[in-house]
């Protein structure tokens, strides 16, 4: 039987997985909230080692979510200003055109802003736009996998194995 605290924790972990595919929603923080609800208010089946493991994965998800696309763009040579404007453009276009707006907006913002730079050719601007967009999509996939692993870990180590675990 699952108690109310476990249901809240499970709901937050599931919300984290769903949020991982929605730009601008902090999937890692939702998942961490679920873990800490269980640890603080649950039946005591979560050990400190398990809490530490969940925390490391959750913090990694937050960092990847916040900086994954920017790191890819910067690694390819896009300016910090371009990266920031592209992120804001993608977020705004999410509310106008949904997830497709984010992808197209990110690409176009990086491409057009990089094309305006005097030291960039068309091909370099195009490559930066592609890399920034690919980095954003890859970081989204990484966040999805990280928060999904937290959900699976919670179900296996806390709900299924319960206090019988030695982790």
Whether residue 66 has pLDDT greater than 90: no
Q: Where are the domains of the chain?
A: 4-164
* pLDDT 10s digits, 97-114: 887 888 888 899 989 998
Q: What is the mean predicted confidence (pLDDT) over 70-99? A: 80
Cα(53)–Cα(95) distance, rounded to whole angstroms?
A: 35
> What's the average model confidence in pLDDT over 135-162?
92
36 or 102: which carries more pLDDT confidence? Answer: 36
Q: Note the pLDDT tens digit of each residue in 121-136.
A: 999 889 888 988 888 8
């Amino acid at each position: 039987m699952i108690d109310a605290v476990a249901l809240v924790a499970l709901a937050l972990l599931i919300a984290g997985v769903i949020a991982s595919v929605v730009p601008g929603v902090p999937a890692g923080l939702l998942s961490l909230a679920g873990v800490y609800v269980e640890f603080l208010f649950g039946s005591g089946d979560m050990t400190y080692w398990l809490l530490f493991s969940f925390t490391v994965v959750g913090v990694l998800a937050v960092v990847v979510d916040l900086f994954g696309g920017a790191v890819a763009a910067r690694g390819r040579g896009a300016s910090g200003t371009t990266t920031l404007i592209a992120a804001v453009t993608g977020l705004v276009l999410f509310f106008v055109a949904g997830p497709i707006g984010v992808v197209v907006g990110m690409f176009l913002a990086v491409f057009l802003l990089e094309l305006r730079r005097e030291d960039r050719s068309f091909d370099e601007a195009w490559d930066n736009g592609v890399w920034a967009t690919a980095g954003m999509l890859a970081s989204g996939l990484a966040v999805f996998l990280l928060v999904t692993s937290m959900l699976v870990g919670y179900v296996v180590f806390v709900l299924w194995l319960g206090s019988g675990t030695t982790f």
